[in-house]
Amino acid sequence: MGIDLTEDDAPSRIVEAAVERFGSVDVLVNCAGIFPSTPALEISRNEWERVFGVNLRAPFLCSQEMARWAVSNGRAGSIVNVASSAGVVARPGVAHYCASKAALIMLTKALAVEWAEHGIRVNAVAPGLVETPGVAELTSTEQGREEHHRKIARIPLARPGEPREIAEAVLYLTSASYVTGETLFVDGGYSAGRTLRD
Ligand SMILES: NC(=O)c1ccc[n+]([C@@H]2O[C@H](COP(=O)([O-])OP(=O)(O)OC[C@H]3O[C@@H](n4cnc5c(N)ncnc54)[C@H](O)[C@@H]3O)[C@@H](O)[C@H]2O)c1
C-alpha cells in the first residue's frame, strides 16, 4: 500500500487498512523520514515544511489516529518513533532534519505522559549511521563518500549499523511493558561521546 504520509487522509487510511487486515492496531512504528542535505543559509521555506511534514507532523497525526482508535475500542497500544542521533548531536547541513528529530524525541515524551492512562506506551529509537537506500544516495558522490568515512571514524564501534539492529530495538520497545517516554540510542556509541581516533 503506497501512501504519501503528507496527505490529509493518510493517517485514517493507514489505521483503517490495519484494522481491516488484522482486526486491530496494537503497534505503530513511525519510520518514514527524509534527510535532504542543504546548508542552513539555503534551506527554503518549502524544504523546511517538507522535512517537518514527513518527520514530525506525520508521526504525530498517525499516532493520534492510532490512539483515537485504541481509546475508543478500549485497547492498549505501543508506538515507536524512529528519531535520530541528529536529534541530540548537531551536524552541519541538516539543520531542519536535526530540529525535526529533536522535536520528535520531545513529542515521544509528551505523548507518553498524556496517553499512559490509556495504556498506550510511546517510545523512540534513535539510530546513528545505518546503511539504507537513503544513505546510499548520499554516498553517490565523491564528497558524499568522504563525509561518510568521516562519520564512521566518529562512531565508537567504528562501523555503521545494520537495519536489522534498528529493527531489533524497535521490537524490544514494542513489548517492553514498563518502558514509556524513552529514546533508545542505537548508534554504536556515537551520541555518548567522542573517541580518541582521528
Ligand atoms: N539511515 C540512517 O543512517 C538513519 C540514521 C538516523 C535516523 N534515520 C531515520 O530512519 C528512518 C528511515 O530512514 P532510512 O535511512 O531507511 O531512509 P530511506 O530513504 O532509505 O527510507 C525512507 C523511507 O521513507 C519513505 N518516505 C519518505 N517520505 C515519505 C512520505 N511522504 N510518505 C510515505 N513514505 C515516505 C520512503 O519511501 C522510504 O521508504 C528515517 O526516519 C530516518 O530519519 C536513518
Q: Is 97 marked active-site?
A: yes
Residue 82 covered by a domain? yes
Other C-beta atoms within 10 Å of 38: how many? 16
Mean pLDDT score across all residues of the chain: 96
Q: Is residue 194 part of a domain?
A: no
Q: Which residue has the higher pLDDT, 144 or 17?
A: 17
Please check whether residue 15 lies inside any domain of the structure: no
Structural domain count, the chain? 1
Order the strands of the 120-127 sheet from edge to edge.
27-30, 77-82, 120-127, 183-186
Task: Report the pLDDT value the prediction gives residue 197, as an integer from 0 to 100.
Answer: 80
DSSP for the chain reads: ----TTSTTHHHHHHHHHHHHHSS--EEEE---------GGG--HHHHHHHHIIIIIHHHHHHHHHHHHHHHTT--EEEEEE--GGGTS--TT-HHHHHHHHHHHHHHHHHHHHHGGGTEEEEEEEE-SB--HHHHHHTTSHHHHHHHHHHHHT-TT-SPBPHHHHHHHHHHHHH-TT--S-EEEESTTTTT---S--
Q: Cα of 148 to ligand 1 centre, how many Å? A: 17
How far is Cα 115 from Cα 3, in angstroms, rounded to an integer? 26
CATH number at residue 122: 3.40.50.720
The pLDDT score that the predictor gives to residue 137 is 87
Q: Would residue 147 count as lying in a domain?
A: yes
pLDDT for the residue numbered 32 = 98
Per-residue pLDDT band for 188 (boundaries 50, 70, 90) equals very high
User: Span 140-160, mean pLDDT?
Assistant: 92
How confident is the model over 38-86, as pLDDT tens digits?
A: 999 999 999 999 999 999 999 999 999 999 999 999 999 999 999 999 9
CA dihedral 114, 119, 122, 125 (to 10 degrees): 160
> Residue range 130-135: average pLDDT?
92
29 lines ligand 1 (CB under 6 A): no
The rounded Å distance from CA 73 to ligand 1 centre is: 31
Dihedral of alpha carbons 137, 142, 143, 145, sign: positive
Protein residue whose Cα sits closest to atom 38 of ligand 1: 32
User: Does the beta carbon of 6 sit less than 6 angstroms from any atom of ligand 1?
Assistant: yes
Evaluate whether residue 43 is within a structural domain.
Answer: yes
**Is 134 near ligand 1, meaning CB less than 6 Å away?**
yes
Residue 1, pLDDT score: 64
- Mean pLDDT, range 162-181, rounded to an integer: 98
Between CA 26 and CA 76 the distance in angstroms is: 7
- Asked whether residue 4 is assigned to any structural domain, the reply reads no
Establish if 140 belongs to a structural domain.
Answer: yes
Q: When comparing pLDDT for 189 and 143, which is higher?
A: 189
pLDDT at 198 over 80: no
Residue 30 confidence (pLDDT) above 90: yes
Q: What is the pLDDT of residues 97-111, one digit of tens each?
A: 999 999 999 999 999
Q: Domain containing 49: what range?
A: 22-186
pLDDT at 6 over 70: yes
In the chain, the percentage of residues whose pLDDT exceeds 90 is: 90
